[in-house]
Amino acid sequence: MEFKRLPIILKRYDFGSKMRIAQKNSMEIMDFNGIVRKDKLVNRYLPWELETFALLSISTGKEDDNQNFQGVKGVKKFNQIMNSIRNYAHPKIFSKDEEDNLFDYFLIVTGLTQFPIQEDIHYKSYRYQYIFNFKNEKVDMGEEFRVKFENEYQDYLDLGIILTLNFMSKNHSQVLKYIMTEYKHIVKNLTIERQQFIELQSKITTNYQQYLYGFKYYYQYPFITYNEKIYLPLPHLIMQSVTSSLLFRLTEGNKELRAAFGKEALENYILHILKMTNQFDEIVGDFRYPSKNGGRDTLDAMVRRDEYCFMIDSKSMAPRLGLRDLTKEDIQATVCRLAKAVVQVYRHLTERLFKEYFPFGKNSQFLPENIFGAVIVLEESYIRREVVIKKAADLMSIREGTEEYRYLCSNIKILSLYGLERMVFEDHDIIAKLIENRDSEKNWFAYNLLGNEEINQEVCEEIELIIKRNSQTMEAFIEKLKKAGFS
């Protein structure tokens, strides 16, 4: 079955039938921490394959037949469709004209498609509870959230938790209608009419060849209405819809709020989680110091332990939509922005720190090789680190092979916020990981400092409290179900 024929084939199938079989398979890959472990995904359709099926199913427009996926024949047809999606080769990645970029392109599209939905949901719950309740004299994220979404953030998170656990149970369908009724004030803000979905999605692309890797609007609107019925085709995405997608929706088109979020909420969150550890002797936030030009700002977070220090600059970056379509202009713009952030950290570490300002005790002294820096990005773009570092070196006219270039590669990192969260929440020794990476040239351009280490089941007290609180949310709802007559 050719991939290009799928829109024609799916147009013959009843819309409800397509949504139900997507939901059934989505349920099978769900775990309360996120997506099920790799070993459990064997013989199951993968999340991004199901997302492509759902997008194709929604985007066909009004169906011209009412076939379904029931019975042996229906299941066989569904498997043929899914195998066609699985075997699809992105035309740009595998184009002969792009052979030199194959590796870079593959990393970008697979990273953006596969990795965010595999992040531990308890960590993201903690992050967004902090962010959407953050308030200081410059920004009130809680009030901004209430104005935009009409309710407290906790209500959205509770719905995500309840739905996730409900779809993991055998009797999910019995109480789904009740959940939808109880949380109808939240569901309405996560719902979109099918035609409106098609119109929004068409602004991203109308080219079915980009559906596998392109951005899909049901990350923001998991509920689809059609012919006066409501569908949730991909329950495995519900927690994405009530965490990172809500931030995107809240700040979309509002540069002032996005800037305030990055400068206030994000910076304070990074300081907050660093203070959760007992790894550091000193933790200092950014401050303004006098200079020849009237004043300069330090980096956002600065920590010290013994003779080592770690300096952080945060960027509220999210991947451009064009990255998923491998638009060269968006790739280059992302490389340039990351490289400029690296340059800023490098110059602080080598030209300003301990020369223009002293964040720690005046007696603190550090060898250059023990001074580390990092750019922390809100969301990963999966651009190869070596490409960014080389661009940063070019911007500073630093030649490869020099001592300055080696320091740039070994001591300055680009890390995702999730990567930092993992080190904090799982109590990994951050300084030790930085030293280990510095001393291993083969790992200089790694995406994170933990390599392929599995999620540590031993987590800090704050995450244990989040896990307990999420469990209590479900337990309280179960009691409510019992009172409503559900067994």
Report the pLDDT averaged over residues 126-153: 96
Helix, coil or strand: residue 61: coil
CA angle (146, 150, 154) in 5-degree steps: 65
What's the token pair of residue 289?
A: 């110091």
The percentage of the chain sitting over the pLDDT mark of 70, rounded to a whole number, equals 94
pLDDT digits (tens, 9 = 90+) for 332-360: 999 999 999 999 999 999 999 988 999 99
Report the pLDDT averaged over residues 13-34: 90
Domain ranges for the chain: 3-248, 256-443
DSSP lists the bridge partners of residue 282 as: 304
DSSP lists the bridge partners of residue 416 as: 377
CA separation for the pair 182, 199 (Å, rounded): 30
Q: What per-residue confidence (pLDDT) applies to 92?
A: 67
Residue 99 has pLDDT above 70, yes or no: no
Residue 362's pLDDT band (cuts 50, 70, 90): low
Residue 422 has pLDDT above 70, yes or no: yes
Does the reported pTM lie above 0.85? yes
Residue 423 has pLDDT above 70, yes or no: yes
User: Of the segments 29-33, 130-134, 471-475, which one has the largest average pLDDT value?
Assistant: 130-134
Q: What per-residue confidence (pLDDT) applies to 393?
A: 97
Domain 256-443: top CATH class:
alpha beta
Q: What per-residue confidence (pLDDT) applies to 210?
A: 81
pLDDT digits (tens, 9 = 90+) for 177-226: 889 899 999 999 999 999 999 999 998 877 777 888 888 999 999 999 99
pLDDT digits (tens, 9 = 90+) for 275-290: 999 899 999 999 999 8
Q: What is the DSSP string of 307-362?
A: TEEEEEEEE-----HHHHTT-HHHHHHHHHHHHHHHHHHHHIIIIIBTTTB-SS-T
